[in-house]
Amino acid sequence: MHRLMLTATLLGGLMISTAGTAAAGPVRDQFGGGVFGLPWSAGKSAIQAKYPGGTWDKDDKGRDRYCAASRQSLLKLPPQHQTKELCFLMGTDGTLGAATAKLDASLPTLLAVVNRSRTMFGDFDMRRREEGTIISKWSAQLWTRDAPYVVQVWSQNDDDGRPVEVAFSVADEANLYTEGAAKVSNRPTGQ
């Protein structure tokens, strides 16, 4: 009887731990606790203390944003794809809502970040882009399956389609980046 109860308890615990793991995804696993060495609960002073020498301003929607120069590895990519600046956006609750790594603008960097993101998080499932143009001036690929945690790879392009800005963002508030995004299916036609 004692052995049966012990086995049932162990199996129940295993099933509970497996169920918790099944709910987690690669974005949540990587960024559920925070981003760039900061927890999602970080306030303005904690952000500024971690990355001194930056400046505060407002983004295009009037949210507080702090940007500081920072050269560091991103997604374990080679050194030529290091960050050059980090920007932290305050969320609706007054804590860190999103972080953006700005990178050197080049097609190899954009491809490296997109490909590494696809390797780590699977195919992107949403896209935002300039509509009605042959060569889009800007586009973003989003990974939203682990919402509220969202990853976005964004680029702004010149008239020939070459990147003039490349950025990698992570948010713990999905709505910061998903507005205007369209679902994308990466499945081959007919599947």
pLDDT tens per residue, range 16-51: 333 333 446 899 999 999 999 999 999 999 999 999
Q: 121 to each of 42, 142, 167, 180, how far by Cα in Å? A: 25, 10, 17, 21
pLDDT band (50, 70, 90) for residue 130: confident
Beta strand spans in 3-137 (E): 34-35, 38-39, 55-58, 64-69, 83-90, 96-103, 126-129
Catalogue the long-range contacts made by 186-189 (C-beta closer than 8 Å, 24 or more residues apart): 186/123, 186/124, 186/125
pLDDT of residue 17: 36
pLDDT of residue 24: 60
Mean per-residue pLDDT of the chain: 84
Q: 127 to each of 54, 56, 108, 111, 136, how far by Cα in Å? A: 30, 29, 20, 16, 12
Range with the lowest mean pLDDT among 71-75, 86-90, 128-132, 150-154?
A: 128-132
Residue partners of 23: CB distance under 8 A and separation at least 6: none
CB atoms within 10 A of CB 82: 16
pLDDT of residue 18: 36
High-pLDDT (> 90) share of the chain, %: 63
pLDDT at 119 over 70: yes
Question: Residue 169 in contact with residue 177, Cβ under 8 Å?
Answer: yes
**Core vs surface per residue 101-136: b (16+ CB within 10 A) or e:** bbbebeeebbebbbebbeeebeebbbebeeeeeeee
Question: Residue 31 in contact with residue 96, Cβ under 8 Å?
Answer: no
Question: Residue 69 in contact with residue 85, Cβ under 8 Å?
Answer: yes
Say how many CA atoms lie within 13 Å of 154 toward its Cβ: 20
pLDDT at 14 over 80: no
DSSP helix/strand/coil, 129: strand
pLDDT of residue 134: 66
**Mode of pairing for the β-strands spanning 163-171 and 34-35:** unpaired
What pLDDT, in 10s, does the model give residues 142-187?
999 999 999 999 999 888 878 999 999 999 998 888 877 878 776 5
